[in-house]
Amino acid sequence: MTNVLTVYYSRKGENYFGGEIRSIAKGNTERIAEYVQKAVGGDLFELETVREYAADYHACTEEAMAEKKSNARPALKKLPDSIDQYDVIFLGYPNWWGTAPMPVFTFLDAFDFTGKTIVPFCTNEGSGLGTSVRDIRRECPDADVREGLSIRGSDAADSETKAAAFAVRNVK
C-alpha cells in the first residue's frame, strides 16, 4: 500500500483569471489538491505562511518577486511532524514568477526526501510549470521527482477528472 501525502500552497482572495483580477473564496491550487486527495486518499496538508501576503494581487506579485530574487524561505505556521511514513508526496502550488512560491521551498528544505516520490502539480494562467519541476529536483536530488501537471487556474473548478487521473497514474 502506498502512503500518500498531498501538500499544497494556495492563494485565496484576489487572483488573475485570463486578463482580469477576481476574488475567490477557495484557492485554485487548494481545489486541485482536494481532487488529488479524493482520488488517491492519504493526508492533506496546507502550507500557510506566518506573514500573510498582501491582499492586493499586484502587491502580492511584487512581494513574491522580491522573495524569489533573494531566494527567501518564508516562515510557515506549521509543518507536518514527519514525512517518514509517506512514499508519495503530491506537491501543489501556483506558478509565481516561473516557479513554485518560496513557501514551497521552505517546506522542501525542512525534510529529507531521499527515496520519496514527489509529484508536482501547478495552477497558472498560461505559464505552465515554468522551471518548478527542475527547481524541485535541484532542492531534492535524492527524490524521484515526477513530471508535473499544469492546470489553468481559471479551469480548476472543472478539472477534477484530469487531476484525479493524474493522481491515480502517479501512485501505481
Q: Are 22 and 146 in contact (CB under 8 A)?
A: no
Q: What is the mean pLDDT of the chain?
A: 96
The three-state DSSP-derived secondary structure of 72-99 is CCCCECCCCCCCCCCCEEEEEEECECCE
* Domain extent at residue 69: 4-169
How confident is the model at residue 19, as a pLDDT? 84
How confident is the model at residue 165, as a pLDDT? 98
Q: How many structural domains compose the chain? A: 1
Task: Look at residue 2 and tell me whether its pLDDT is greater than 80.
Answer: no
pTM over 0.95: yes
Angle 81-87-93 (CA atoms, 0-180°, nearest 5)? 70
149-166 burial: b if 16+ Cβ within 10 Å, else e: bbbbbbebeebbeebbeb
Cβ neighbours for 132, distance < 8 A, ≥ 6 positions apart? 93, 95, 98, 99, 100, 120, 122, 148
Percent of the chain's residues with pLDDT above 90: 95
Percent of the chain's residues with pLDDT above 70: 99
Digit-coded pLDDT (tens) for 52-74: 999 999 999 999 999 999 999 99
Digit-coded pLDDT (tens) for 103-137: 999 999 999 999 999 999 999 998 999 999 999 99
Phi–psi pair at 80, nearest 5 degrees: -60, 150
**Which CATH number characterizes residue 110's domain?**
3.40.50.360
Q: Work out the number of other CB atoms within 10 angstroms of the CB of residue 90.
A: 31
